[in-house]
Amino acid sequence: MNAEPADQIRLLDVQGLDVRLSQLAHKRSSLPEHAEIEALEGELTQLRDLLVAARTEEGDTAREQTKAEQDVDMVRQRSARDQQRLDSGSVTSPKDLESLQSEIASLARRQNALEDIVLEVMERNEGAAARVAELTEQVGSVEARLAEAQARRDAAAEQIDSEAASVEKEREAVAAAVPDPLLALYGKLRGQHGGVGAAALFQRRCEGCRLELNITEVNDVRAAPPEEVLRCENCRRILVRTPESGL
């Protein structure tokens, strides 16, 4: 393949711009905010799960407390009715009196036991409520940190994208001046060789693979017409001669 020396040198400009675009893409994907956001999202998921569990416990204990308090009220009301019957003197049979007094004593014991249950459930409910408040505060804190990290990431990405758009525009303009066959060969080789399809020949070294040409290869380069598109014998990239090549 042949191409004007100026077009070959222009291809190096395209390569330089492509390298810059790759660097910007890597910079964008490796922003430190990405890892920070991932960690915060993981922490937030765990906290939200804990908050759901705490709210569930708070609701369950609240219902349990209400039920226990209702049980206490029922026992208290029954005990009050029995005491009223006892105080009224309407029960005269000794056997009935003994039975009524026994029931009042049993109800008192039952009431005391239920009141202990109410206190125990109330303590668990208060603990769950405190846990909900604590976790709610933690979730809010992490959400704020996450939003701040996302804002920093978006700002950095926007800046990189702006630079990348400028470089891409410049690349399009430079590539438009390169002959299509040469540009197509460059694109193919670039895909095969880690994003570098063309490299300058500096003195006796290929700047693509960083290896020096042997004497035979040097003589072949010197004998080749300026418009001939050369390939590095080692890495097979396009080898571009420049005024700095020294050959």
Q: Give the percent of the chain with pLDDT over 90.
A: 87
Report the CATH fold assignment for 31-162: Helix Hairpins (1.10.287)
Task: Classify the C-alpha dihedral 180-184-185-189 as positive or negative.
Answer: positive
- pLDDT at residue number 97: 80
Tell me which of 104 and 50 has the higher pLDDT.
Answer: 50
CA distance 115 to 111: 6
How do residues 85-135 score in pLDDT, each as one tens digit? 887 888 778 887 888 789 889 999 999 999 999 999 999 999 999 999 999
- pLDDT at residue number 11: 97
Q: Give the percent of the chain with pLDDT over 70.
A: 100
How do residues 1-41 score in pLDDT, each as one tens digit? 999 999 999 999 999 999 999 999 999 999 999 999 999 99
Instruction: Give me the DSSP letters along 64-108.
Output: HHHHHHHHHHHHHHHHHHHHHHHHHT----HHHHHHHHHHHHHHH
Question: Hey, what CATH class is 5-25+179-245 in?
Answer: mainly alpha
For the chain, give every domain's residue range: 5-25+179-245, 31-162
- pLDDT at residue number 134: 97
Helix (H, G, I), strand (E, B), or coil: what is residue 168? helix
Helices and strands in the chain: count of H runs, count of E runs: 5, 4
- pLDDT tier, 84 (very low <50, low <70, confident <90, very high otherwise): confident
Q: What is the mean pLDDT of the chain?
A: 94
How do residues 64-77 score in pLDDT, each as one tens digit? 999 999 999 999 99
- pLDDT at residue number 242: 92
- pLDDT at residue number 192: 94
- pLDDT at residue number 244: 84
Please give the structure tokens belonging to residue 122: 């109330």
pLDDT at 147 over 90: yes
pLDDT at 148 over 80: yes
| 195 in Cβ contact with 22 (< 8 Å) | yes
Beta strands per DSSP E along the chain: 198-202, 205-206, 230-231, 238-241
- pLDDT at residue number 129: 97
| 232 in Cβ contact with 239 (< 8 Å) | yes
Q: Which residue carries 């005024």 as its tokens?
A: 243
The answer to whether the 5-25+179-245 and 31-162 domains have the same CATH topology is yes
Rg value, the chain, Cα: 42
| 10 in Cβ contact with 174 (< 8 Å) | yes
pLDDT at 51 over 80: yes
What's the whole-number mean pLDDT along residues 42-53?
Answer: 98
- pLDDT at residue number 80: 92
CA distance 103 to 79: 8
pLDDT at 206 over 80: yes
Q: Which amino acid is at 9?
A: I
CA distance 87 to 75: 18
- pLDDT tier, 246 (very low <50, low <70, confident <90, very high otherwise): confident
